[in-house]
């Protein structure tokens, strides 16, 4: 038995959804272990396009999906997503989707606080999705979160709402936002309970059974290493640990159970929202990459900032994320660009770095050091073997391997699930 954890190796939006979907055909269970509905995975299956935020991507393949305790769950967003995919023909219900009974819930007050804070930050806004992810994680750490299991205990729920509103209404009033009424929230949650509780279980038990039965489990990460709350470009990060090490805590399994760690990176770099981006392009090349790559956030709808491949950044993600194999996506977007650049490090105040420093001021000063490679004119779109790639494209991929210090295990050449070259099998262990 070999399991696989999939994480992003840049700033998110690397095409994890397609890769999880492609590999899920060989898994038995797919687990989301962190993040919330600020994640966005787009899966193209024939003439259908599925846009998932909370649902594990493996559900599209008919696999068992699990939402782990490391996720923060907005119940209404979940049911809206389930309704949407059901309309597209997917069968989703408690028979194939299980949710950790101890998962923290995102409430309307979390979103209200998230948005009010961003307004108050003004020009220093972080660029959150405004969906309440950060405030929900704050409540989890502060031990005042409403968890899924609380919906089965009305008295517990009522008491916990008192404490929650004492905190949040004080903050909301201070930010000039409307406070929330306890009875309205209580009625809302009790109304959701009969719909949501059938999905709840101690998912750690199911995963332990899977271990004994030698079932294959895939752990699906959201966002990416450089958005990790500890290891990313803080404070322009998400509110959870996105590295593979968190898959164990976020699912309720031991670290030995995680298996192979697969990092996903685009053949170039993108970022949504604010924060440092040393290789960002502001010219026609950057604009062209964005247009060909259809670079718009699945969740935010915002245009993604585009730039050259940053090998120093991905190397850093490989090291802290424990990445054993890299999946390179969207190679075809670079077709026809005569000259390509790869960032190998940064120059900051005259000093050379092979990593992006933790300090915000230092990150803002980072000037990329580029290596120039020859591009290719032949189309790589839809290639499914190395033989279908031009020699210069292969050279580009090999150079990335050397610089990031990790082998390329999979290569994706279009949004279609089968346009993927498998170099090594992640499930081989």
Catalytic sites, residue numbers: 13, 41
Q: Which residue has the tokens 């650049």?
A: 341
Q: How far apart are CA 205 and CA 203, in angstroms?
A: 5
Q: How far apart are CA 395 and CA 390, in angstroms?
A: 9
State the DSSP code for 422. E
**Angle, vertex CA 316, rays to CA 314 and CA 320, nearest 5:** 120
8 Å CB contact between 147 and 168: no
| Helices 391-404 and 311-321: angle between axes, nearest 10 degrees | 50
Q: How far apart are CA 227 and CA 258, in angstroms?
A: 21
Q: How far apart are CA 167 and CA 335, in angstroms?
A: 53
Residues in contact with 168: Cβ distance below 8 Å, sequence separation at least 6, in sequence order: 109, 110, 113, 135, 179, 180
Q: How far apart are CA 130 and CA 177, in angstroms?
A: 14
* 333 alpha carbon, distance to own chain's centre: 21
Q: How far apart are CA 283 and CA 306, in angstroms?
A: 10
| Tokens of residue 36, six digits | 């919330």
8 Å CB contact between 238 and 248: no
Q: How far apart are CA 258 and CA 2, in angstroms?
A: 9
At 330, is the secondary structure helix, strand, or coil? coil
At 261, is the secondary structure helix, strand, or coil? strand
8 Å CB contact between 131 and 111: yes
| Tokens of residue 344, six digits | 């190998």
8 Å CB contact between 327 and 263: yes
Residue of 228, 204, 183 lying closest to 35 (CA atoms) = 228
Q: How far apart are CA 327 and CA 265, in angstroms?
A: 6
């Amino acid at each position: 038995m070999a399991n696989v954890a999939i994480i992003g190796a840049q700033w998110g939006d690397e095409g994890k959804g397609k890769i999880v979907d492609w590999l899920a055909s060989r898994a038995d269970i797919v687990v989301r272990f962190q993040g919330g509905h600020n994640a966005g995975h787009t899966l193209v299956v024939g003439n259908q396009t599925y846009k998932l935020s909370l649902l594990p991507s493996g559900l599209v393949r008919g696999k068992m999906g699990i939402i782990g305790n490391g996720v923060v769950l907005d119940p209404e967003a979940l049911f809206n997503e389930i309704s949407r995919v059901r309309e597209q023909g997917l069968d989703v219900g408690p028979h194939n989707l299980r949710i950790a009974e101890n998962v923290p819930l995102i409430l309307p007050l979390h979103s209200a606080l998230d948005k009010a804070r961003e307004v108050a930050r003004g020009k220093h806004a972080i660029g959150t999705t405004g969906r309440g992810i950060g405030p929900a994680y704050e409540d989890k750490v502060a031990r005042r979160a409403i968890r899924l299991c609380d919906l089965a205990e009305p008295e517990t729920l009522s008491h916990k709402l008192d404490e929650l509103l004492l905190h949040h209404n004080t903050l909301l009033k201070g930010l000039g936002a409307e406070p929330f009424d306890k009875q309205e929230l209580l009625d809302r949650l009790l109304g959701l309970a009969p719909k949501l509780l059938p999905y709840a279980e101690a998912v750690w038990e199911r995963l332990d059974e899977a271990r004994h039965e030698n079932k294959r489990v895939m752990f699906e990460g959201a966002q990416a290493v450089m958005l990790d709350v500890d290891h990313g470009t803080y404070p322009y990060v998400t509110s959870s640990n996105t590295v593979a090490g968190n898959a164990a805590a976020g699912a309720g399994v031991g670290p030995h159970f995680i298996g192979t760690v697969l990092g996903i990176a685009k053949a170039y770099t993108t970022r949504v929202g604010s924060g440092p981006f040393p290789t960002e392009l502001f010219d026609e090349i950057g604009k062209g990459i964005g247009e060909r790559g259809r670079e718009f956030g699945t969740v935010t709808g915002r245009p993604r900032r585009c730039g050259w491949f940053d090998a120093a950044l991905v190397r850093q993600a490989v090291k802290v994320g424990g990445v054993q194999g890299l999946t390179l996506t969207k190679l075809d977007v670079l077709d026809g660009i005569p000259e390509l650049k790869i960032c190998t490090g940064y120059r900051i105040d005259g000093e050379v770095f092979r990593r992006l420093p933790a300090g915000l001021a230092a990150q803002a000063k980072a000037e990329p050091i580029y290596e120039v490679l020859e591009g290719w004119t032949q189309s790589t779109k839809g290639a499914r073997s190395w033989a279908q790639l031009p020699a210069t494209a292969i050279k580009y991929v090999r150079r990335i391997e050397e610089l990031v210090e990790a082998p390329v295990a999979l290569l994706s050449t279009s949004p279609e699930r089968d346009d993927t070259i498998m170099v090594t099998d992640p499930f081989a262990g």
